[in-house]
């Protein structure tokens, strides 16, 4: 029995195939160990502005890597970091990363960057306009 794929293709049809119970237990045990880094961390609803920016920078790096078919090894080399940091970036462990280092990483990959900051009501902040006098 092939234990690794969750789906198998038969006559161009994908069929769902369950993993053996022992394999599932092994995966759960590994993923619940303290310090396991290969689990996506989602942004909390009450995240600060800095956390939102860091999260979006991580997502930009992930998207860039996916679009350009970059492996983790290639990212390690391009960014000049270790495997641990790559995993923190790829799985959005923003509590382990600084804003400055993420901006540097995005810059090293030449990813276009635009930052918008919304106020608490979700409206984009724009500079105040100076009022022009009306002449009649």
Query: Among 32-36, 41-45, 79-83, 101-105, which is the least confidently predicted range?
Result: 32-36
Residue 73 has pLDDT above 90, yes or no: yes
Q: What is the pLDDT of residue 134?
A: 45
Q: What is the pLDDT of residues 8-66, one digit of tens each?
A: 566 667 777 787 888 877 766 666 666 666 666 778 889 999 999 999 999 999 999 99
Per-residue DSSP letter, 113? -
Angle between helices 72-79 and 99-108 (to 10 degrees): 100
Report the greatest alpha carbon distance in the chain: 86
CA distance 89 to 60: 10
Of 92-96, 111-115, 123-127, 131-135, where does the model show the most confidence? 92-96
**Spans of all domains in the chain:** 35-108
Please give the CATH number for the structural domain made up of 35-108.
Answer: 1.10.260.40
Q: Smallest Cα–Cα separation from 65: which of 52, 48, 78, 80?
A: 78
């Amino acid at each position: 029995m092939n234990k690794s794929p969750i789906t198998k293709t038969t006559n161009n049809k994908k069929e769902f195939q369950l993993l053996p119970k022992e394999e599932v237990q092994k995966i759960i045990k590994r993923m619940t160990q303290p310090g396991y880094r290969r689990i996506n961390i989602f942004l909390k609803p009450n995240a600060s502005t800095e956390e939102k920016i860091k999260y979006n920078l991580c997502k930009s790096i992930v998207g860039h890597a996916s679009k350009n078919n970059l492996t983790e090894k290639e990212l390690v080399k391009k960014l000049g970091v270790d495997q641990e940091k790559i995993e923190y970036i790829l799985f959005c462990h923003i509590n382990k990363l600084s804003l400055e280092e993420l901006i540097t990483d995005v810059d090293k990959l030449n990813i276009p960057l635009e930052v918008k900051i919304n106020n608490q009501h979700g409206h984009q902040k724009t500079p105040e306009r100076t009022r022009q006098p009306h002449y009649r």
